[in-house]
Chains A and B, each alone.
Chain A
């Protein structure tokens, strides 16, 4: 049985419409006007134990709203959620015992106290056995490089240090499911890599189910094996990450360094299966589809109009694919 089951999940926010002026103020008191906004529009998915799911979508797509419903912080307008056999918004505290969550940069650590004291409180609150606590602490300290941080007051930590501690705190009680809503926002690449490694390690060892939302698709690329793509409250892709790239990522990017160019090439030539993305005096950026054309064909055409001095090519990454999807180039 799936550890998370979501069926026809809908969340509609009611937003109070502010009415102007004094009369508007009293109108608001007597008969408030609401506007409705449906942030999540009847989504369905099942997640199995041990999956690493990337929950992605543009700003405002409804990712945080979904995560809040899964944790029981928000009550759905309609639909069904069962997490680990529990309906989270009905039995929040019961559900809390087997989950962990990170929301952006908000921390659960005690600001004025050394990090280790917050860890000890977590151990106490979740009734974690001594041995288990020590084992986790040792392991986490090593992977996330917390050695120097544990005795420092939280308020004296940098953002990257704080988030590493926060991640450790979230996994400390061996949660079955962890929700990470933008855990890497604002962090430098080294900290990000550190956190990704940690998530993968723990998942491998403990089969922790992780649902991750992020703006940095490298996080997804590196950590997740499944993608759920949300667009304006609806799921437009749900499945294997590699398959997603195979279906939508058949194109290649190339940057050509050129000289002796006459005018704008995009005005003078047409290329089959290839698009000129950006063009300057010295360089041309193109994007082309594997199956429709080859780099040799393109160079043949272009070299009639200028001298090609160098080429850099790269495969489409998740980010490129998503940009395409948002632009409406693909229909999922």
Chain B
């Protein structure tokens, strides 16, 4: 089964590689994004003498990491799933000898592999241009990676949920934007969570999103209270289970709808 999933991942990665320009285009977009964020925070820093509680160089590292990790969290198989539903290709995919979930999980891994390649390229280029602070310790770096890995099933199940909406609405365009917006805000892409009101931060503590980007970066730059790490890890595992159940049940309900009413 694992080999099938890797085969799917490789196929999906190859799909991206067919268009060599994809890599340069996506990487270039990321770079523009970093530049914009850095200019904004430089301006804020020079005006107010403060960059959201961070030093300016921490803030620059923060955004370089945000933009490098961002694709891993936001990209995925949502569009492919929408396309599969719209064109009726789903009928063929439901006739595969492996479940639709595993099939798309494999493809999603391929997408993530592509995101990681773009992310590393962006990180290296930015590191050369602006300089970044390295992780404060090797342990911190490992925890950083663990949290990023735990984020993969979370973002995958979120995409399956968003994609399944397409069975009911016919289009996933709206839910796609919502998904990206929610993740961007709660994961600390727009601004570090500490800049938001206290109630928002309290809520965010229980949601799985800030551990996708914000928390790992804080662990990288040493601004995270390590006494909380166990709570965070357990929280993520619980969310993986919850989102898995929701995604699975929702998808099964949607498939039942097709198998009763026809595609």
A68 lies within 8 A of chain B by Cβ: yes
Partner of B95, one of A13, A99, A117: A99
Cβ–Cβ contact B96 & A71, under 8 A: no
Chain B residues, Cβ within 8 Å of A75: 256, 259-260
Binds A, one of B6-14, B66-74, B121-129: B6-14
Cβ–Cβ contact B4 & A73, under 8 A: no
B-facing residues in A94-108 (Cβ within 8 Å): 96-97, 99, 101, 103, 106-108
Chain A residues, Cβ within 8 Å of B7: 120-121, 124-125
Binds A, one of B84-92, B162-170, B179-187, B242-250: B84-92
A113 lies within 8 A of chain B by Cβ: yes
Chain B residues, Cβ within 8 Å of A108: 89, 92-93
Known interface pairs A13-B261, A65-B262; A93-B97 also in contact (CB < 8 Å):
yes
Cβ–Cβ contact A74 & B262, under 8 A: yes
B134 lies within 8 A of chain A by Cβ: no
Total count of chain B residues near the partner, CB < 8 A: 27
Chain A residues, Cβ within 8 Å of B95: 71-73, 92, 96, 99, 101
Cβ–Cβ contact A93 & B98, under 8 A: yes
Chain A residues, Cβ within 8 Å of B99: 93
Please indicate which of the listed interface residues B15, B89, B97 has the most CB atoms of chain A within 10 Å of its own CB: B97
Chain B residues, Cβ within 8 Å of A110: 11, 15
Interface code B155-166, partner A: CB below 8 Å = 1, 0 otherwise?
000000000000
Chain A residue with Cβ nearest B89: A106
Chain A residues, Cβ within 8 Å of B87: 106
A-facing residues in B92-138 (Cβ within 8 Å): 92-99
**Residues of chain A at the chain B interface (Cβ within 8 Å):** 13-14, 65, 68, 71-75, 89, 92-93, 96-97, 99, 101, 103, 106-108, 110, 112-113, 117, 120-121, 124-126, 153, 173
Write 29 A-B pairs (CB below 8 A) sorted by A numbering. Answer: A65-B262, A68-B91, A68-B262, A71-B95, A73-B91, A73-B259, A74-B262, A96-B97, A99-B95, A101-B92, A103-B91, A106-B88, A106-B92, A107-B92, A108-B89, A108-B92, A110-B11, A110-B15, A113-B14, A113-B18, A117-B11, A121-B7, A121-B8, A121-B11, A124-B3, A125-B4, A125-B96, A125-B98, A173-B97
**Residues of chain B at the chain A interface (Cβ within 8 Å):** 3-4, 7-8, 11, 14-15, 18, 87-89, 91-99, 256, 258-263
